Amino acid sequence: ARSLNIVQVISLSFCLPAVAEVKLRDDQYTLDHMRAFGMYNYLHLDSWYQDNVYYIDQFGRVMNLSVTLDTALQKPREVFRLPTDLTAYDNRLCASIYFSSSTWVTISDGTGRLYLIKSGKRGNSASEKWEIVFNEELGNPFIIVHSVSFVKSDKHSVAVLLLRVEKDELDTKGSGFHITLEWVTFVEMNKASKYEIYKRRILQGKSVPHYASIEPGGDGLMIISYKPFKFVQEKEEILEEKDDKKTTNEKKELYCA
């Protein structure tokens, strides 16, 4: 009921910047593309602060809407801006957000780039500072299905589950596509909040899962799907400290709301 009220208030109270909507291309009209991307909800609820919802507009800005008195919305507030010009990419998906914890956020810009962000306490403009701690191209475009934050062996980690619908040249009788789930784990490398990829694991299946999530401690996956998934690749990254010169030249990206 609340979600319906939110939509009504948004449409009547003020004019919002347009959502960064991405329509399916002609070659993407399969059942799996429709289930994964065609009916995508661009409004993201922050499950850690449930009076706050977010969306990404056509300018790549992450906009926050706070609910007050259960039915009223405050004016949209920009909390972060993607450094990439999304309109320059023809082959992209809808941008997606997942709130890993009360202070961590993962964002996909829809082009294949993943952002790991330390946000501070969200919903409070005084303490909310979205800082990029990891920003890298991870291959073909994807959406974020799930993400968790946890501590293991005294090191903070963030795990994220990515979903792709990819061309399958061996599938001559079906849709011609398969579903890829990539399970990526990041680990904190030092006291300066430097994060690197620790492990990348890839699963493939033939249907978009009804539900997929990472266990709270980052030790396993829960997948509910019409057709099974199986591991096809597991890669452990070699985590090495970069030399002092490169570290010195590295720019720290910080966005203050």
pLDDT digits (tens, 9 = 90+) for 111-156: 999 999 999 888 766 667 899 999 999 999 999 999 999 998 889 9
- Backbone φ and ψ for 62, nearest 5 degrees, come out as -85, 115
Strands (E), the chain: 44-45, 52-56, 61-68, 72-73, 77-81, 96-99, 104-108, 113-118, 129-137, 143-152, 155-167, 177-188, 195-205, 211-214, 221-224, 229-236, 253-256
Look at residue 70 and give its three-state secondary structure: coil
Residue 74, pLDDT above cutoff 90? no
Residue for token pair 């985590």: 239
Residue 16 pLDDT class (50, 70, 90 cuts) = low
Question: Model's pTM, two decimal places?
Answer: 0.81
Q: According to the model, what pLDDT value does residue 98 have?
A: 96
Q: According to the model, what pLDDT value does residue 237 have?
A: 54
Read off the pLDDT of each residue in 217-237 and give the average, rounded to a whole number.
Answer: 86
Token pair of 226, please?
A: 């019409």
Amino acid occupying residue 178? H
**How many Å apart are CA 156 and CA 1, to the nearest integer?**
37
Judge whether 100 and 126 are in contact, CB under 8 Å. no
Give residue limits of the domains in the chain. Answer: 2-238
Q: Which residue has the higher pLDDT, 84 or 131?
A: 131
Show the 3-state SS of 151-209.
EECCEEEEEEEEEEEEECCCCCCCCCEEEEEEEEEEEECCCCCCEEEEEEEEEEECCCC
Read off the pLDDT of each residue in 46-70 and give the average, rounded to a whole number.
Answer: 86
Residue 71 pLDDT class (50, 70, 90 cuts) = low
